[in-house]
Amino acid sequence: MLQPRIPVNPLPTGTPIPLPQSTSDIEPAAPAPAPVVPARAAVQLTPGSALALAAGGGAVVLVVGTVLVSMLLAVAITGVSVAVIAVVLRLLVRDMQKGR
Contact 58, 66 (CB under 8 A): no
DSSP single-letter state for residue 98: H
With contact defined as beta carbons under 8 Å apart, do 53 and 45 qualify? yes
pLDDT, tens only, 26-44:
566 677 777 777 777 777 8
What integer is the mean pLDDT of 10-22?
64
Planar angle of CA 15, 18, 24, nearest 5 degrees? 170
Percentage of the chain lying above the pLDDT 90 cut:
46
User: Can you tell me the mean pLDDT for 9-34?
Assistant: 65
* pTM for the model: 0.47
Average pLDDT over residues 59-84: 97
Residue 52: what pLDDT?
93
CA distances from 72 to 22, 39, 44, 82, 93 (A): 67, 47, 40, 15, 32
